[in-house]
């Protein structure tokens, strides 16, 4: 189930998630969340479509 959930993400999402995990490795939760908020790449090109699908 986890593999399917990951592979259904867009390649952009997977790259961003991997980058954030790598960059925040070893940080405390609050520090990592703050880092993520300040370093987000924003929504990808297919973001609005994926968000609409999620809301169904």
Domain extent listing, the chain = 2-55
The helix-helix angle for 29-38 and 11-24 (nearest 10°) equals 130
The band of 8, judged by pLDDT with boundaries at 50, 70 and 90, is: confident
The band of 2, judged by pLDDT with boundaries at 50, 70 and 90, is: confident
The residue ranges of DSSP E strands in the chain, in sequence order, are none
Over residues 6-24, mean pLDDT? 85
């Amino acid at each position: 189930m986890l593999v399917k959930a990951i592979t259904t993400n867009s390649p952009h999402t997977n790259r961003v998630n991997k980058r954030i995990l790598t960059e925040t490795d070893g940080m405390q939760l609050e520090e990592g969340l703050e880092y993520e908020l300040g370093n987000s790449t924003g929504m990808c090109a297919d973001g609005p479509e994926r968000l609409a699908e999620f809301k169904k």
